[in-house]
Structure 1
């Protein structure tokens, strides 16, 4: 994955492929709502495993029945890169298995 910063247009184009994700404060962000706290906790654990696999970590927050991610690439000057979108796509793919919306 490239760690070169993406342009604003590239970010906007890529976000069209990820429903529910947005660009805020130089990060791509998404909040998922789940049915229970246990479901949200399980999703956090699953995301943590994916992040370790990719060696790329987001700010990951667990609420009672929510999971929030905010991600950019620190080594690229805290810009959004292709690596951030790879993580977002992986999370988007695993979310349905946890009942996340």
Structure 2
């Protein structure tokens, strides 16, 4: 049985993953090594401000990381656990 703190952290993670824009963003990053905000915004047909907001949420949940290169920030998935979560969730929803 999970303790209260662990249960809360897991519930918070699933809340972050419960947004279709963030899922699309993670899926895009899963197919690329890393992308800048402008490339993500163009691919998802959204404004850079909206993308930056979603990236902040994903970064706070430790699902994405970034590196600075001059004035640009390049984002990528934080680690292989994110890919595993995505693949397992996708397998589950595609199972009939």
Question: Which structure's relative contact order is higher, taking Cα pairs within 8 Å and 6+ residues apart?
Answer: 1
> Which structure has greater strand proportion?
1
- Which has the larger share of helix? 2
- The answer to whether the superposition gives a TM-score over 0.5 is no
Greater Rg, structure 1 or structure 2?
A: 2
